Amino acid sequence: MDKQVVRKSDGRSVIFYGFSASASVEPRPAADADPPPDAGLTEQLPGAGELRWNPVLREWVATAALRQDRTFFPPPGYCPLCPTREGSHETEIPRSDYEIVVFENRFPAFTPRSAGSLPEGDDLYAVAPARGVCEVVVYSPLHDATLTQLPERELRNLIDVWTDRYAELGALPYVEYVYVFENKGREIGVTLQHPHGQIYALPFVPPIPRRELDAAREHLARTGRCLFCDIVERERVGAETAESGSHHATRVVAENDGFVAFIPFFARWPYETHVYPRRHFGSLVDMTTGERAALANLLKTLLGQFDALFGRSLPYVMAMHQSPTDGLAHPYHHFHIEFYPPYRTADKLKYLAGVEAGAGQYLNDTNAEEKAAELRATADGGEASS
């Protein structure tokens, strides 16, 4: 993997990742030497974020007024994630071609260094700088592509990029959690169509991963086993039971030698799908070469099932949960990826309304076993229900 770092005129870094000898890689100026991980990261922009403590829910809320001005469905020909073509305007990516690119978000919720004054906090309402890094990961120069449509080898390359960013950002002294995610589709709130994901390097472990860690630690203390390994075993036993002709339905959607994808017993969304490694490890950097290939293979299969479900590109949130980078040991954590497609039928969205938003109590109007069967049917050439 070739990695080249260039600096934009506003000081933000752009990282070009290359994987083939034939790739079109333009030379950079000699002065553009690779900076250390946090060098060259922009100073906090006017209106950049702060953290405000919610003493009722005991969690931080990030505020970032400058994000109100972020790009919103630009007209054709003005996509900021496309390559910069000769004779055209300069995009966020100052080259005429690329394979995978990572750059610092122009409208970050978290920034590497804080400047200016913050509201005065106290024992009730604590305030802190929103120190961190927000990056955009551009999967392909093809504007109309999706992650589903990329060849498996390009998914494998993307896993290497995610791994590199986790290692580099996690090494920053103020970063305690590296969160890799993708918002896909207008229904999710995406404002740029070009295939891309994001990475937030956070100064704390966010609420959902924190709850997972607490549950995993307590399960290990009580049983001596990994909570996530137990879940994988239970789901795979269900799959083997179903294959033997038992009436028990399986929630497994796809699997290979390294990973298993399933709609969990406790799914909150109708087609919520989790991807767990069959071996216990905590983060991308712990994967073997074979496991990286297996993950690319399973993602290719699962994303294809999503799009085949209703015969169109299915929107989703992809959330990658890895071990914190807070310098502490978390042997009970188990790497996994969660997908939340928002549809409950071909033409009906699942909304988070009063019970979910106001009480935190999810209601799922569907059966996980039936929805898993629908996804499996797409791989078998069958038709999903609508």
How do the pLDDT tens digits run along the chain, 386 residues long?
A: 999 999 998 889 999 999 986 554 444 433 344 444 444 444 444 445 799 999 999 999 998 876 666 666 787 788 999 999 888 888 999 999 999 999 999 889 999 876 567 888 899 999 999 999 999 999 999 999 999 999 999 999 999 999 999 999 999 999 999 999 999 999 998 889 999 999 999 999 999 999 999 999 999 999 999 999 999 999 998 666 656 555 446 999 999 999 999 999 999 999 999 999 999 999 999 999 999 999 999 999 999 999 999 999 999 999 999 999 999 999 999 999 999 999 999 999 999 999 999 999 999 999 999 999 999 999 765 445 44
Which among 32, 52, 45, 33 is positioned nearest to 118, based on CA atoms? Answer: 52
Give the pLDDT confidence score for residue 231 in this predicted structure: 96
Strand bridging mode 50-54 / 59-63:
antiparallel
Which letter does DSSP use for residue 313 in this model?
P
| Closest residue by Cα to residue 167 from 282, 295, 89 | 282
The residue annotated as part of the active site, out of 194, 196, 321, 333, is 196
- Overall size of the chain counted in residues: 386
All residues at 6 or more sequence positions from 212 whose CB lies less than 8 Å from its CB, including other chains: 321, 333
Q: Rounded to the nearest 10 degrees, how much is the dihedral formed by the CA atoms of 122, 173, 182, 86?
A: 120
Residues near 181 by beta carbon (within 8 Å), at least 6 away in sequence: 197, 198, 199, 200, 317, 318, 319, 320
Compute the distance between CA of residue 112 and CA of residue 171 in angstroms, rounded to an integer: 13
Among candidates 154, 148, 183, 185, which has minimal Cα distance to 303? 148
**SS3 assignment, position 19:** coil
Give yes or no for a contact between 18 and 78, defined as CB atoms under 8 angstroms apart. no
Supply the DSSP string of 38-90, one letter for each residue.
TTTPPBPPTT--EEEEETTTTEEEEE-GGGGGS--SPPTT--TTSB--TTS--
Specify the pLDDT at position 243: 61
pLDDT of residue 42: 45
C-beta of residue 164 within 8 angstroms of C-beta of residue 146: no
Beta bridge partner(s), residue 100: 17
CA angle 80/134/323 to nearest 5° reads 135
Q: How far is CA 316 from CA 208, 217, 354, in A?
A: 18, 29, 21
Q: What is the DSSP letter of 148?
A: G
Chain-centroid distance, C-alpha 259: 17
pLDDT of residue 71: 66
Q: Which CATH architecture fits 2-204?
A: 2-Layer Sandwich (3.30)
Residue type at 319 in one-letter notation: A
Are β-strands 259-262 and 252-255 bridged in parallel, bridged antiparallel, or unpaired? Answer: antiparallel
| Contact call for residues 190 and 184 (beta carbons, < 8 A) | yes
**Is the CB of residue 350 less than 8 Å from the CB of residue 342?**
yes
Q: State pTM to two decimals.
A: 0.90
Distance CA 171, CA 265 (A): 36
User: Is 209-379 the same fold as 2-204?
Assistant: yes
Residue 196 a catalytic site member: yes
Q: Are 233 and 262 a contacting pair, CB within 8 Å?
A: no
In a 13 Å sphere around the CA of 273, the CA atoms on its Cβ side amount to: 33
Kindly state the tokens that stand for 164: 């590199």
209-379, which class in CATH? alpha beta
Burial class of 77 by CB neighbour count within 10 A (0 to 12, 13 to 18, 19+): exposed
pLDDT at 125: 96
What pLDDT, on a 0 to 100 scale, did the predictor assign at position 115? Answer: 54
Domain ranges of the chain: 2-204, 209-379
